[in-house]
Amino acid sequence: MVDYVNLNYEPSEKDLVVMYYVEKSNECKSLESASEEIAKESSIGTWTEIATLSSDIAKRLKPSVFYINEDNGIIKIAYPEELFELDNIPQILSAIAGNIYGMKVIENLRLIDVTFPKSMIDVHYGPKYGIKGIRKILGIENRPLLGTIVKPKVGLNEIEHARVCGDAWMGGLDIVKDDENLTSMKFNTFQKRIVETLKVRDRVEKETNEKKIYMPNITAKMSIMKKRADLVINNGGEYIMLDILTVGFSALQEIRSYLDDKNVIIHAHRAMHAALTRNKKHGMTMLSLAKIMRLIGMDQLHTGTVVGKMEGDKREVQEINEVITKNEVKGNDFTMLTQNWGSINPILPVASGGLSPLHVPDLIELLGKDMVFQFGGGCHGHPDGTFSGAKAIRQAVEAALEGISLNEYAKTHDEIKKALDKWKL
């Protein structure tokens, strides 16, 4: 019989370590017993003893449950790296986040965090540009990058879409992006939208002498995503965005590999993440998904706002941002594991969802300046429209960085004043 629980085991640098939150079901006698079943099902075991499981296999490949906390349901399991195809994210997740969710001994199970061994990090791309590379391209060093999402999400034609982008750029924003469900529609085809929007971008760059970015959504089946990425690049675009969960992990790995020798930044939208992450007792955390995105090689990633309309508390968002921006992260017993990223570039975090200019001081205080702040309705909902909404956002950043309150700044800046009047402070 293989014993999967070894509380004296010390993980090595060759182990993949996972932290889970576990609630056992009524038919399971103890958390230790549930932990044993999780380790077994996610690796070499099954529901009964089998003649084909040799002592050699067990010795080499058996994972070890080395931490069990009965008070809070936290367990930690160390898996030998040989259990995994190191550059195959779907296979890795099929093991550590696969059949175990359907086991009868489990009432709830949440993958809190995962630490990747050096061997796994070494065979993945990581972000091509990361924070420094993106700042270099935009020529912006000492403030957050500012963007908007074209609203309504869908409905505008290609010319109308390009006009909205132009207004936002002229008002002072750096970035305009498609939303998650705008791809290529009858009323707004991908190809024409790219041509028209980048045409406007070129004009605005000449008029403002500032770098401007458009992030078109290439989300589709893989063959089409490659064609759309090529179309963007051939028309002078420097960014693409995609919906990381709806396209799937293997698609992310494939598009990252395909784009490696092309000069394009990848923006990752996390649409659908809450289906996995929102239940605090089940699924997996946004923290663990964010680490997977850094390993695969997304350059930017939505991580949360703390303020605004989207779920995610202060500690959670700050920990996610830490784990994707720092080279080494120290773990703790409850929410994070230690991770050393080696030479893997950091991801630039993105805050987006229900933000207005009024949120800017809090965003900078809570999340810092190495961020992208995106304002949808908080730009286009300005009483004087998109251009003034963009100016109000830029003014809010200027005020915050100069240590001036928005109410004080509004005395001499009409756009932020009208934003304050609409959304109140």
Active site (catalytic) residues: 151, 269
Whether residue 109 contacts residue 22, with contact meaning beta carbons closer than 8 Å, is answered with yes
User: Residues 6 or more apart from 121 whose CB is under 8 A from it?
Assistant: 295, 341, 342, 344
Q: Cα 398 from chain centroid?
A: 27
For residues 130-166, b (16+ Cβ closer than 10 Å) or e, as one string? Answer: bbebbbeebebeebbbbbbbbbeeeebbbeebbbbbb
Q: Determine what percent of the chain falls in helix, strand and coil, rounding each to the nearest 5.
A: 40, 20, 40
Instruction: Look up tokens 């609409």; give the residue.
Output: 422
Q: Say if strands 74-80 and 15-24 run parallel, antiparallel, or are unpaired.
A: antiparallel
Peptide bond into 144 cis (omega under 30): no
What does the angle CA 408 – CA 410 – CA 415 come to, to the nearest 5 degrees? 160
β-bridge partners, 300: 267, 348
User: Residues 6 or more apart from 209 whose CB is under 8 A from it?
Assistant: none
Whether residue 106 contacts residue 38, with contact meaning beta carbons closer than 8 Å, is answered with yes
- Report the phi/psi class of residue 12: left, alpha or beta, with left for phi > 0 and alpha for psi in -120 to 50: beta
Angle between helices 190-208 and 222-234 (to 10 degrees): 30
Q: Say if strands 283-284 and 372-374 run parallel, antiparallel, or are unpaired.
A: unpaired
Q: Could you tell me which of 17, 21, 36 has the C-alpha nearest to residue 79?
A: 17
User: Residues 6 or more apart from 63 whose CB is under 8 A from it?
Assistant: 4, 39, 42, 43, 77, 78, 79, 80, 83
Q: 366 — phi, psi (to 5°)? A: -80, -40
The Cα–Cα gap between 83 and 347 comes to 28
**Tokens representing 112?**
């809190």
